[in-house]
Structure formats: C-alpha cells, structure tokens
Amino acid sequence: MNLFARLLAALRGKGSPGADRYLPIYVFSHRCREPIKGQVDLLNELSLAEENGGYYVRKVLHTSGRNRCFAQVEVQLWLDDKKQVTHYEVQGGRWLTAEEYAAELERQAQAESASEANDASETDNKN
C-alpha cells in the first residue's frame, strides 16, 4: 500500500519521494561579509534532541575563500517531529532567508562588477 501511495503522489505532481530530503540553510559570514548556502540531509544528519523530543543538527559552513578571507559559520538547528525548524542559533554570522540570500548574492555581484570597473579605469589612466 505504501508503494502505491508513493506512485500516486508522484503521478499527481507532488514530486519524487526524496524531494524533501534536504533542508537548505542560508547564513551570512560577519568576518568575510559573504553569503553562504548549505543544506541539511534530513535522513542522515539529524540526531534525536534530548529536550522536548524532535531533532537537533549542528552544521559548520565555510566561506569560499574569495579575497583571501576564510571563515566558518556554525549553525545549530532544532526541528520538531515533522522536521520543521523550530529554533536556530548562528555563531560567526547571521541567519538569512532564501530571499535575503538572493539579495546578498546580487549585492556581492554588483560590488564585484563595480570593483572590476574601477580596476579597469585605473589601468586606463596609467596608460
């Protein structure tokens, strides 16, 4: 019966059975001023929480190393029995929503293009 329910759900467009396996998380590194994206594998990385039931996971996300800045942001998540985030703590950065993450990526891309334009104009002025 379970197999039949999975097939029926896939046919109705609810996606594959593993579509909800990963929980995306977004943070902003205070040290490197860089947005970071990570994910939690909801099937393999969760531990049972000692308090109030539910689940707990700790992730350490790393910056890209761009501009020779290397940092870590630690994220601790507490989830309920349905694997929905109920509480989070971030050290070395701050929590971002998906929209805030996209805005930070856009801001970073604009800053990099402005920096490249300044470098090009300085090179032109030297010649």
* pTM of the full structure: 0.74
- The better pLDDT of the pair 91, 16 is held by 91
Per-residue pLDDT tens for 33-80? 999 999 999 999 999 988 778 999 999 999 998 889 999 999 999 999
Per-residue pLDDT tens for 8-46? 566 565 555 566 899 999 999 999 999 999 999 999 999
CA separation, residue 97 to residues 24, 67, 94, 100, 102 (Å): 10, 25, 10, 5, 9
CA separation, residue 117 to residues 36, 38, 108, 110, 123 (Å): 25, 31, 14, 11, 10
